Structure 1
Amino acid sequence: MALSQIRGQAGRSVTLWLGIVLTAVGVLQLTAIATTTRLDAVGQIQQNARPAYDILVRPTNSRLPVEKSTGLIRPNHLSGLHGGITDDQWEEIRRLPGVEVAAPVAMLGYASSEGRIDVDLGDAIDRSRTRQIIRVLPTWVADTDLTRVPERNPRYVYVTKRPVAVPETIGVSGTNGQQSYRAPDGTRLTYQQLWDLGCSDRQVPNFYLEQQENGSWKPLCGTWQLNGKDAAWFAANRNDQGSLSLAGSRFSVIQALQDGTFLNFADVVDPARASGDQEGVRHEPVRSNNPTLSIIWPIWLPVAAIDPGQEAQLMGLDQALSSGSYLAPAKDPGCAAPSGVPAIAPDRVDLDERLSVNLARVAGERPIAGQRPADLAAELRKTSVDHPANRTYSVSDAYAAAAQSASGHTRLDVIIQASAPDYVRRTDGQLTPQFKQVDAGSWRTSVSRYGETATGAAAGQPELARDNGFRELSNSAEPVTPDAVTPPIARWVGSFDPNRIRRFSPLSAVPLETYLPMLASGADDKSAALMGGKALRASSNPAGYSTAPASMLIPISMAKCVVKRTDPISAVRVRVRDVTGVDPVSMERVRVVASTIADRTGLDVDVTLGASPQAQTVVLPAGQHGRPELALTEYWAKPGAVLTVIETVERKNVLFTGIAGIAGVLFLLTNALAAANDRRRDLAVLARFGWSRKARLTLLLAETSVLSVAAGLAVATVLTTLRFAVERPVNWVQAAGVIAIAAAMHFIAVVGTVAGTGEPGWAPHRRSRRSRRQLQTWTMAIDQIAGARSRTAVTLGSMTVAAAATLITVALVKSTDRAMVGTLLGEAISLRAGPSDRIMITLVGGLSFASVAIGLRHDLRERTRQLALLLALGWHRRTVVQLIVLELAALALAATVTGCGAVVLALALVEGAFPASVAALTPAVLGTTMVLAMAAASIALLSRRTVSVAEALRQ
């Protein structure tokens, strides 16, 4: 009998069987996807969670206010930290139980290396002229070409075919003991003559001699710097030590020889002739095949002190050498030792700095011998130029030249220290660094470029430092006294490749200013377009916003040679022993060590294990030399980010599994109730023929058992196929449980149906009290909904479940994404889980859609006789369809509002506030559910549209 019923009502049986299969497969796949996503996320977290160091120790009260308010660590946290931790505190940290590595770093400040660029003048020289002047306009470019700082005064190169000679010093003259000079023809030039002509500064000659056509020799004044000031200005601005500023247009002399070569006359500082605070200056011309102009490129880069052994363990620095040798174990031979302070440096610099040189030929031939520099400068500024040309040079070229010269020594007696930037919070929540006044005296050196033993002129200020500064500068230079000891000298013993430093996951990156540059990308389309899609990097300006990696590393034991303080260490980076990841045991080990460090030393301690970079928007104000206001995205380290991600992933997995189970149970219950409600008329007929409740129950249980077994076989087939297709293991125990639950749902529905079945009755629905004129399609739809309570309850329940399940799933995905977005690790995991989340939403939506479609099919099947009667009474099919559509639209609206409202209210009660994000999703889910309901109704209607009126009446 049960098999006959299944075959006789094939449509109903297939619908019931299909409901069980869809539910089982859907729920099992939802659970499997949630579990797989969780395992994948946890594995990715464990793989990327260990940063370069587990704990960051900084001086007491060294956190900026913005770091305290945000709980983040800025990427340039070492800038402005010039000490604060003593050697004893570092040693105490090293000796603590559980500490594997405690690597100190002392940021000593900025030291200058003078690079040199030789500008080729060959194309700009007219070889047919006897005399000519080439104007050179250098422009310093930085900030992705947005900042362009031209030099205040142009440089000039005087090219002559006439003989040029270096003046010969013949002794002193006058009561002041000042030197006199002699030309090749024996003519004597006194210091007073040269002074009156503006050709000399105190003791340093500032001229060459050119032979004229009549054989006489005249001075070419201003050959070091062509100055617009006269002798009266020099006398008024001379200080007690006799130092004068010769800032102005620089002037070089080149002699073109008959054989096509050139003699370049330039004052060259000779390190080999340096002695104490005196620098040897040679005036011999340099012969070359191509005429060139040497431009000094001052490169100010940070100098840091490290412990070689600890740094090798932490970063593998000893394995990153590209030339030379590594720093020897820490010993202190003395700051003035002949060997100097050993140092290693990167083999290249990562700076955003270029030099653009414009060359042009001054119109006409002009002799300049014997002219006053002030008059010559004024005349050249008014003269036109032609044949312009441009040359562009990279800071890497200048750094290579500096590295070659530094292979001998680099002086450490002049160190500039830059403070940390100060931020203010804007009304929109973004940060803005504040401009700071940069004292011009910060650039004064202890030795002038002329070798005088006094605090001299600004000899190394980069042109880019003329822009607005974000850091206050202080100078360690002191006047050199006659009995001063030899200044500290750093000797490069090797170079290293920053790319060969031990690499760590960028998802858990922590600041490594010693090796890696600070980068900032455009935070909006406008800023990104202005920056050409590039990142904003540091220049060699110590007062600039971005900071550069250290250019020189010396042993921590010799930091006192550079800075005179007892607490030179800026930070200590700690790795804890036996830490394997972010598991609870490892996190507890790190927490204990961090707490002990804070208690023993009183220093600021941050746990960086489990940190991840978090995007921070910084609005950089406009500069004075072309750079507009820029919105930048920087990545600040967020401690504890991994714990937030793990908690979010675990909560997501639990909620997803719960939603899958609840959606499946409700779908099974809705389908079972719909199928059982469809059997009420048949059971009533059997009861009229004398079937007992037990017999009817046995019949329905037999049908349910047969369908459940068939559904189980189908589910097993589908899961086996999916296992090989997507390589996902099958939990057969779980699958059997879902089938058992499905059978139980149908059993409950069957028991309820049999218990509530009595004598058959087809009593007409309550007659409408409306008048004939009021009896319209929409009023009939309302009567049908109100009259068929059981059928309405089933349909309304299926739609409500569909709306609620869909909204909960979408809201859960959005909330978990929102919880993880912000840190790179969270975003990476969220992005990786994106396809799984979309499959999850699709499966829940599909399950809900199937629930509505099956429920509607049962509803229309039960109403077949009613619809046939309406058609028999003359109703047009279009009117019948309108009636059904109106009923379903009203039910869908009520169900989606009820389901979505219940979800929003429940979340509001749980979270303690109205979930605005979920409320924003509600209209979309509401519309989507209604569309799905109407689509399901259309499918159900299409399945019944071929039934004739007579056949419907027979049913």
Structure 2
Amino acid sequence: MFRFIWGQLRGRAGRSVALLAGVLVATTGFVVLTGATTTSRLEVTGAVERNTRAAYDILVRPPGARTPLEAERRLVRPNYLSGLYGGITLKQYEQVQAVAGVNVAAPIAMLGYSTSYVPVSIDLTDAVDPSLDRQVIRIDPAYVAERGLSAAPGKPTYVYVTRRPLIHADFDPNTPDSARYTDGRVYSVSEACGPVPREVQPDGTSRPVCDPRTAVVEGNPGWSERELWAVVSARLLPDGRFEVTPGPLWRNSPLDSTPTTTTDRLVLEKLLTVPFLLAAVDPDAEQRLVGLADAVVDGRPLNPADTLVDDTPPGFFPQRSVPALTTNRPYLDGGLQARLTRLPAAQPAGLPPDALEKTLGQATGIPAGDRQVDLTESYQALLARGLGADGIGFGCCRGQIQVLAQPGAVDYERGPDETLRVARASPPDPAIFGDRNDPWTLPRPALSDDFGFREVRRLVVPADNALHSWNAVGVFDPNKLTGFGELSKVPLETYEPPTAEGADDPSRAALGGQPLLPSGNPAGYLSAPPLVLTTLESVPKLLEASNWANTRAPISAIRVRAADVDGYSERSAERVRLIAERIATETGLDVDITLGSSPAPQTVELPAGSFGRPDLRLTENWSALGVASVITKAVDRKSAALFLLVLVVCVLFLGNAVTAAVRDRRPQLATLSCLGWPARRIGALILGEVTLLGLAAGLLAVGLAFPLGAALGIGIDWRRALLAVPVALLLTLVAGLTPALRAARAHPAAALRPPVATARWVRRPRTLPGLALINLIRTPGRTLLGAAALAIGVAALTLVTAAAWAFEGAIVGSLLGDAVSLSVRSADAMAAIATVLLGAAAVADVLYLNIRDRSAELATLRATGWTDAALGRLIGYEGLLLGALGAVAGAGLGLGGAAWLVGDLPPALVLVAATVALTGVLVTCIAALVPAALLRRLPTAQLLAQE
């Protein structure tokens, strides 16, 4: 039997080689494509595991903390801690710690915004005209933020520069009505305007240079820094240097007894009021979670036992402070712009306080330049002075906590296109940051006068005749915190400042191509992260008599890391799910699994501000929960779909080839049947031939798989390469089974029937397309086979597109999903191209056989006067009709499968199917050109003689 099979293969070498090539193409394609799909899956799962390493796996919040929008979209908003002040008790925290499988449970208690001073330096030297005896330099400030789009104007500061001597007071609180000055004389303070500098006149008398800050200090400074104005005095010495009182503008108030100094530059230090979000943590848990102690770059880490202490300087008013870590950068976009004007005729000495501001404001001025100061640079310059450089509450680095501002969450209005529009909140109460009846509060930040998007509450710490503040014992760098993947750290990372990119061209142009950052307005849209940290131990003592409703439940959130979990995997996901379920059951708190989360861009419309910022359309990163799980499940479904599609296309391609080979041997098989061969032996002959070809193709595919995989960048190991042999045998057996059975069951007389029958029920054609249609109807089996081959190609390409659509549709919208989807497109494209090529090859084979079986008929047409061009058009019309039938059927099948795979039928997929169908028709017409070109080689005389 084997020798007979081998002889048959050698005797029909052309058809055997063609069939061998078909099996080889199908087998190699299957091995390479499945290798590409597997490689793609490994790349995806590897990318997921690498980029889902987060600081914590579970987020625990108070009941009701999850907003409806978060629950609906399975998202967590940026800076989810903003607006969340307490709600979890210490007992619940202990319950979370006790859950089996919890490795680290790190609590954080949000307290609110504390205000602190940051000095900014404005160099006025070049604005001074050294030829003038007396002059005033006017500084008009604008507090800028949001990439310069918001500019809040403030009252001016005046620097009086005189060549005449200045004398200064040595103020004694025990004698508030008088003060001894540096000339040795005692002057009445109450009759003047406070213990202000006095300018010595040519006749030896002196006149006070009034300063409104004396009234501010005595009348309590709890108002906006935009309303603060001052008059500062400096002497221009004959050698061109300046005699000044050093220090920040607020520090060198007339009440201080700071000695004067001589300097080459006239520099004004103005104090900006900056809000810092204060939070309390467990230092040990925070160290285990993110390495907080290791991120300290100056000073010392927090000690768990750090608590409220009395640090009143000798002879000073009472002070109590909590030790804190402060950030090494404020993460606020802000600064100061100053317009300088020289007032050469202004002479403030001797003017009464009620006339001072009016007189200076109406003075004629000469522009003297502009200055711009960056908040971050000024803050880092303050840090460079060293911790503890100033112990009276205004230096590095402290902030008042007499009054804390607690902004709530943002409300959104959803547009028809799912865009989120930020809803404005009611204007904040100016007294939120303190009022003039509280001597310890600082002015409210300038940008807090802008429109707000959060309701702000006020947390009051009872003064008890003492100044309460936080005092930095160390500085930490948030960038040194560990444990975050690049595609998963924002915005679930506690200390990462939020950013928002422009979502359209006008917004990007307004922002100068840079992201929008927090402005320093606690009620603003973007909320700064908690970057001043104290200990949980200090909270009860600090707030025991406050008006805070959550004194007994101070914890805002607990971040949980599960034991034995390092990156995302199915095992890790199930372990984390069980732990989260236990936490929710035992505590009743809101629990979200953050393992496998990734930033998900959301489009947000931000209304215009009151200080110049226009309407902005922004793209903001929220956190999509469970992205890793969705990705891995989607890639498994896509891989299974592609495996099945490639397998089906290969089987149909081979089935068509084997059927054609059997059809070509009908006379021989009929002769063998007449000679007494039983049906099973004829079937075994067919299967034996295709099996032998399949074995040879499989062995050849083993050798081709490695170089082809290397050329395409696909990893194929020896196990996958050896898989080509059983795959080839299986494909050929499955493809040859039906033709073998048909050949075995066929009656010998069937070989005498013409391969092309007459279609008796159709009308006589009058056009060339009509004749082409009749020809297709005359061979319904072959027509359906050709149409099915093309339909499979079109359906396969549509389904491949749908699989990619389903995969990407399931994961896009997050940064991790977007990155992963890019890595699988090459494999998807390769699978799609391969299915189309296999389908096109099958169509070309059917058209070729069609022409060969009808060669005598075509020769007769040529003999009766038909030209080769007319015959070519006839074949072209047949190909066009065959292509239309297969393309429409394939598009319908593909859309049905796509609807099942995607769960919907998006208009884009319908467009894809239509495009693929048109491409299929075009491919069929092109394929028809090849057999049509063979018409010229038909031996007309020989064929007619045989007939």
The match for 2:717 among 729, 732, 736 is 729
Q: Match of 1:809?
A: 800
Aligned counterparts of 1:444 and 1:717: Cα–Cα separation in 2: 78
Aligned residue in 2 for 1:259: 239
**1:372 to partner: Cα distance:** 4.7
- In the alignment, residue 858 of structure 1 is paired with which amino acid? L
Structure 1: unaligned runs, 5 residues or longer: 195-199, 228-233, 274-278, 449-453
Bigger shift: residues 792-801 or 261-270: 261-270
Give the Cα–Cα distance (whole angstroms) in 2 for the partners of residues 245 and 590 of structure 1: 49
Shift of the 334–593 alpha-carbon distance from structure 1 to 2, 3 Å rule, reads farther
Aligned pairs for 1:853-872 (under 5 A) are: 853-872=844-863
Secondary structure at the aligned position of 1:507 is classed as: coil
What is the aligned partner in structure 1 of residue 451 from structure 2?
Answer: 468
How many angstroms apart in 1 are the aligned matches of 2:777 and 2:341?
94
In 1, are the aligned partners of 2:403 and 2:441 still within 8 Å (CA)? no
1:510-561 CA-to-partner distances (Å, cap 9, x unmatched) read: 6456421112222333323322222221132212211223232111100234
Match of 1:37 among 36, 40, 52: 40
Work out the CA distance in 1 between the residues paired with 2:698 and 2:556: 68
Q: Go from structure 1 to structure 2 and tell me whether the alpha carbon gap of 1:149 and 1:950 turns closer, same or farther (over 3 Å shift).
A: farther
Alignment partners' CA distance in 2, 1:439 and 1:243: 15
CA distance, structure 2, for counterparts of residue 574 and residue 610 of structure 1: 14
- The aligned residue for residue 478 of structure 2 is 498
> Which of the numbers 587, 597, 601 marks the counterpart of 1:601?
587
Distance 1:190 1:245 in 2: 27
The residue number in structure 2 matching 1:748 is: 738
For the residues of structure 1 that align with 2:224 and 2:300, how far apart are their CA atoms? Answer: 42
* 2:752 maps to amino acid: P
Does the CA contact (< 8 Å) of 1:225 and 1:249 recur in 2? Answer: no
Write the distance in 1 (CA, Å) between the matches of 2:684 and 2:555. Answer: 86
Query: What is the correspondence of 1:429-440 to structure 2 with a 5 Å cutoff?
Result: 429-440=418-429
Q: 1:122 is matched with which residue: 125, 131, 134?
A: 125
1:65-85 C-alpha deviation (Å, 9 max, x unpaired): 322333321121111112122
How has the CA–CA distance of structure 1 residues 115 and 38 changed in structure 2, closer, same or farther, with 3 Å as cutoff?
Answer: same
The SS at the match of 1:587 is: helix
Q: Is the 8 A contact 1:144 1:536 kept in 2?
A: yes
CA distance in 2, matches of 1:72, 1:705: 56
Measured after TM superposition, the shift of residue 750 of structure 1 is 4.1
Q: Does the residue aligned with 2:795 lie in a helix, a strand or coil?
A: helix
Distance verdict in 2 for CA 1:588–1:699, change over 3 Å: closer
Q: Tell me the distance in 2 between the aligned counterparts of 1:243 and 1:784.
A: 97
Is 1:145 the counterpart of 2:137 in the alignment?
no
- The alignment status of 1:765 with 2:765, answered yes or no, reads no
Query: Percent of aligned positions with the same letter in both sequences?
Result: 32
537, 541, 549: which one aligns with 1:557: 537
Q: Distance in 1 between matches of 2:442 and 2:312?
A: 27
Aligned runs of 1:270-349 on 2, under 5 Å? Answer: 281-282=256-257, 284-330=259-305, 332=307, 340-349=321-330
Distance 1:951 1:10, change over 3 A: farther
Equivalent residues of 2:596, 2:627 under 8 A apart:
yes
Find the residue that maps to 2:402 and give its secondary structure.
coil
The answer to whether 1:525 aligns with 2:514 is: no
Match of 1:162 in 2: 164
Task: Describe the shift of the 1:752–1:514 C-alpha distance in structure 2 as closer, same or farther (beyond 3 A).
Answer: closer
Question: What's the offset of the Cα at 1:265?
Answer: 5.0
Aligned pair in 2 of structure 1 residues 714, 154: CA closer, same or farther (>3 Å)? same
**Any idea what the Cα deviations from partners look like across 1:618-651, whole Å, max 9, x if unmatched?**
2111111221222222222232222222211211
Could you tell me which amino acid in structure 2 is paired with residue 466 of structure 1? D
CA distance in 2, matches of 1:580, 1:118: 48
Does the CA contact (< 8 Å) of 1:164 and 1:211 recur in 2? Answer: yes
Matches of 2:688 and 2:68, distance apart in 1: 74
How much has 1:255 moved relative to structure 2? 1.2
Corresponding residue SS for 2:518? coil
Map 1:236-251; keep pairs closer than 5 Å: 247=227, 249-251=229-231
What letter is aligned with 1:749?
P
Q: Who is 2:93 aligned against? A: 90
Q: Is the 8 A contact 1:335 1:488 kept in 2?
A: no
Deviations 1:49-90 (A, max 9, x none): 342112211122222332233332112111111212222222
- Distance in 2, matches of 1:332 and 1:306, equals 12
Indicate which of 641, 650, 660 corresponds to 1:664: 650
* 2:25 alignment partner in structure 1: 22
1:66-81 counterparts in 2 under 5 A?
A: 66-81=69-84
Report the secondary structure of 1:326's partner residue. Answer: coil
Question: Once the two structures are superposed, what CA deviation does each residue of 1:113-147 show, in whole Å capped at 9, x if it has no partner?
Answer: 21111211111111111122222222222212222
- Which residue of the partner structure matches residue 547 of structure 2? none
Q: Is the 8 Å Cα contact of residues 304 and 514 (structure 1) preserved in structure 2?
A: no
Match of 1:546 among 526, 535, 552: 526
Counterpart contact for 2:223–2:443, Cα < 8 Å: no
My pick for the range that moved more, 945-954 or 833-842, is 945-954
Distance (Å, rounded) in 2 between the aligned partners of 1:103 and 1:243: 36
RMSD: 3.6
CA distance in 2: counterparts of 1:912 and 1:703, whole angstroms: 44
Corresponding residue for residue 771 of structure 2: 780
Show the counterpart of 2:548. none
Secondary structure (helix, strand or coil) at the match of 2:69 reads helix
Whichever residue aligns with residue 717 of structure 2, its letter is: P
Choose 263-272 or 45-54, whichever is displaced more.
Answer: 263-272
Structure 2-normalised TM-score? 0.88
Q: What's the TM-score once normalised by structure 1's chain length?
A: 0.87
In structure 2, C-alpha distance between the alignment counterparts of 1:598 and 1:360, rounded to whole Å? 64
Q: 1:785 to 1:319 in 2, by over 3 A?
A: same
Of 614, 622, 639 in structure 2, the residue corresponding to residue 636 of structure 1 is 622
| Mapped partners of 1:689, 1:567: distance in 2 | 96
Partner Cα separation in structure 2 for residue 439 and residue 915 of structure 1: 46
Gaps of 5+ in 2: 314-319, 392-397, 545-550
| Letter aligned with residue 339 of structure 2 | N
Alignment partner of 1:795 out of 764, 770, 786: 786
Partner of 2:373: 393
CA distance, structure 1, for counterparts of residue 252 and residue 159 of structure 2 = 27
The count of corresponding residues between Structure 1 and Structure 2 is: 913
Equivalent residue number for residue 888 of structure 2: 897
Cα distance change of structure 1 residues 679 and 476 upon mapping to structure 2, 3 Å threshold: same
Distance 1:510 1:829 in 2: 17
The one of 500, 513, 517 aligned to 1:537: 517
Q: 1:315: Cα distance to partner?
A: 0.7
* Equivalent residue letter for 2:15: R
Residue 488 of structure 1 aligns to a residue whose secondary structure is: strand
